[in-house]
Amino acid sequence: MIFQNARVLTFDATNRVLDRGAVAIRHDGTIGGVYEAENAPRAAPGEEVVDVRGKLLMPALINCHTHLYSTLARGIALPGRAPRNFLEILKKLWWRLDRALNEEDVYQSAMVGLIDAAKCGVGTLVDHHSSPNACPGSLDRLEQAFREVGVRGVLCYETTDRNGPVRAREGLRENVRFLERLRGQPSDGLVAGSFGLHASFTLGDRTLRACVEAAKSLGAGFHVHVAEDRCDVVQARQRVRKSPVGRLLDLGVLDERALAAHCVHVNARDIAQLACHRINVVHNPQSNCNNAVGTAKLLEMMEHGVLVGLGSDGYSPRMWEEFKAALHLQKLRRRDPHVGSAEVYAAALLNNRTIAQKIWGMQLGQIEPGAQADLILVDYYPPTPLHSENLFGHILFGIANAPVDSLLVRGRYVIRGKECVTVDERAVAEKAASHARALWERF
C-alpha cells in the first residue's frame, strides 16, 4: 500500500517533515519507504494507492499505563459518603469494582476501551488488569479483545495481598501462565506481557519475593504503581524504613525492564536511583489531578536522566489531553510559563516509543524504512508554517485538537474515515451496556 499526498511527520533521527510526501507499507506491516511526492515509486500491479489529500500522517500514539477494566465504571453511583482521599477512592470504587467483575465484563470493558483508544489515534496500550473474582484466564480474554480490535497491547495481572493469600497466589499464577504461553509461541508482535504488581503498600515481602523468583525465567519486567499517593510512602517507611522505590529496588522488583507508574512522591535519592537503574517511569497527570494525590516532579526526574513516559491510568483515551495536562501542571508547579515543553514532548513522543521498543524489541513510533507501520492520519491542515523546529506548537494548539481520521497498526486499518473497521462499534457498546447494568447491581 502507498499513501500519497500526505504531510508526513516522521519523528525519525532527523525529525523530517515532508510537506508533500508518500509512504509505502510492506505486506509484513512495516514501512517500506518514505519519499518526497515527486520521488515516490510507482505502485506495483494490484497495490492499493491512497491519496490522503493533504492529511497529516504521523506515528500512532502510545499509552504506557492504563486500566481497561475501569471502562464500565463510567457513570456509576457510589453508595454513601463521597471518598475524601486516595485510599477511600480505591476502597469505595476501584477495589469494589474489580471484585465485581466477571470474565465477560473483562472482555466487554476492554473492547469498549480499545475502540475509544483507537479512535483517539492510540495504537499501543500498556494495560494493568485486575479482576480478583475472575482471575484465571482473564489475560486471555483481554488478549482476545486486543486481537479483535487490532491494536497492540502489553498485558499483566495486578498481583496484590489485599484480597488474601489465595487471591495473591492466583494473581501470581495468572502472570506466570500468560507469560509462559507467550514465550511458548512465535510472537506476531501484537500482544506482549509484563508481570503485574499492585503497589508496595498492598504487597508483603513474601509475595513480592515469590513474584521476583517466579519472574526470573520469564524474561518480562514488572509493571507496578509506585509512590502514587503519600500513603504508599508512609506505609513503606513504617514497614521497612525505606521509600517505596528503595523497598522495591532492594527486593529486585525494579530494574531497567520495569514500568513504575506515577512516582509522584519521590525524593532526591529516589530520583537518583530511578535514573541510575534506568527504570521506566510513567507519568499520569490527569489521574493524579482527579485523585488529588499531588504533582509529579516530572522536570526534576528528567533533568536527572530518568526515562519518563506518559500514560492515562484509565482516565482518558485521548493521549493529547494527558500531554496538555502534563505541560500545564509543570508550569503551575514551577510558576514559570517557559518550562515543560521539551520534557512533555519527549515523554509523549520519544520516551513512550523507547519504552514500547524495549518491550517488543521492534521499531515503533517513527516513520522510516523498517519501522512498524503504526500510523495515524489526522485532519490537520496547518494554517501557519510547519517544520521540524516548531512541531511542539502545532501539536499543542492544532494537532491535539484535530480529528483522527484513520489508525493503522502493523499496516492494517483499525479506524478508517473515523469508523472502526475491525469490529462493530455500536454492537460492542450495546452489549457492554447490558453487562454494565448487571455489574452495577453486583457492585
Nearer to Zn ion, 313 or 368 (CB): 313
Q: Which residue is nearest to Zn ion (CB)?
A: 313
Nearer to Zn ion, 87 or 429 (CB): 87
CB of 313 to Zn ion, least distance (A): 4
Nearer to Zn ion, 4 or 286 (CB): 286
With H, G, I as helix, E, B as strand and everything else as coil, classify residue 285.
Answer: helix
Is the dihedral angle over the CA atoms 252, 256, 262, 264 positive or is it negative? Answer: positive
User: Applying CB under 5 A, which part among 214-222, 239-247, 289-297, 311-319 lies near Zn ion?
Assistant: 311-319
CB of 345 to Zn ion, least distance (A): 23
Nearer to Zn ion, 158 or 343 (CB): 158
CB of 256 to Zn ion, least distance (A): 21
Nearer to Zn ion, 271 or 282 (CB): 282
What burial letters (b/e) apply to 129-164, b meaning 16+ CB within 10 Å?
A: bbbbebbeebbbbbbebbebbbbbbbbbbbbbbbbe
User: Applying CB under 5 A, which part among 86-94, 116-124, 310-318, 390-398 lies near Zn ion?
Assistant: 310-318
Nearer to Zn ion, 118 or 293 (CB): 293
User: Applying CB under 5 A, which part among 2-10, 42-50, 73-81, 313-321 lies near Zn ion?
Assistant: 313-321
Q: Counting Cβ atoms within 10 Å, is residue 231 exposed (0-12), middle (13-18) or buried (19+)?
A: middle
Window 5 to 24, contacts with Zn ion (CB under 5 A): none
Is there a contact between 8 and 367 (Cβ–Cβ < 8 Å)?
A: yes
Say how far apart CA 20 and CA 135 lie, in whole Å: 50
Half-sphere exposure for 75 (CA within 13 Å, toward CB): 5
CB of 422 to Zn ion, least distance (A): 26
User: Applying CB under 5 A, which part among 1-9, 45-53, 74-82, 307-315 lies near Zn ion?
Assistant: 307-315
CB of 359 to Zn ion, least distance (A): 17
Q: Does 116 bind Zn ion (CB under 5 A)?
A: no
Report the DSSP beta bridge partners of residue 157.
129
End-to-end CA distance of the chain: 48
CB of 34 to Zn ion, least distance (A): 36
CB of 290 to Zn ion, least distance (A): 12
Nearer to Zn ion, 4 or 66 (CB): 66
User: Applying CB under 5 A, which part among 31-39, 200-208, 312-320, 399-407 lies near Zn ion?
Assistant: 312-320
Q: For 58, phi and psi rounded to 5 degrees?
A: -145, 170
Q: What is the largest CA-CA distance in the chain?
A: 69
What are 145's three cell numbers?
Answer: 479483545
CA 191 distance to own-chain centroid = 13
The site that binds Zn ion (CB under 5 A) totals a number of residues, namely 1
Q: Does 313 bind Zn ion (CB under 5 A)?
A: yes
Q: Strands 56-59, 61-66: parallel, antiparallel or unpaired by DSSP?
A: unpaired
Half-sphere exposure for 231 (CA within 13 Å, toward CB): 14
Nearer to Zn ion, 313 or 374 (CB): 313
CB of 362 to Zn ion, least distance (A): 25
User: Applying CB under 5 A, which part among 110-118, 308-316, 343-351, 396-404 lies near Zn ion?
Assistant: 308-316
Nearer to Zn ion, 12 or 313 (CB): 313
Q: Does 229 bind Zn ion (CB under 5 A)?
A: no
Is the dihedral angle over the CA atoms 337, 338, 343, 349 positive or is it negative? Answer: positive
CB of 282 to Zn ion, least distance (A): 9
Say how far apart CA 25 and CA 104 lie, in whole Å: 36
With H, G, I as helix, E, B as strand and everything else as coil, classify residue 225.
Answer: strand
Is the dihedral angle over the CA atoms 303, 224, 314, 237 positive or is it negative? Answer: negative
> Which residues of the shown chain bind Zn ion in the complex (CB under 5 A)?
313
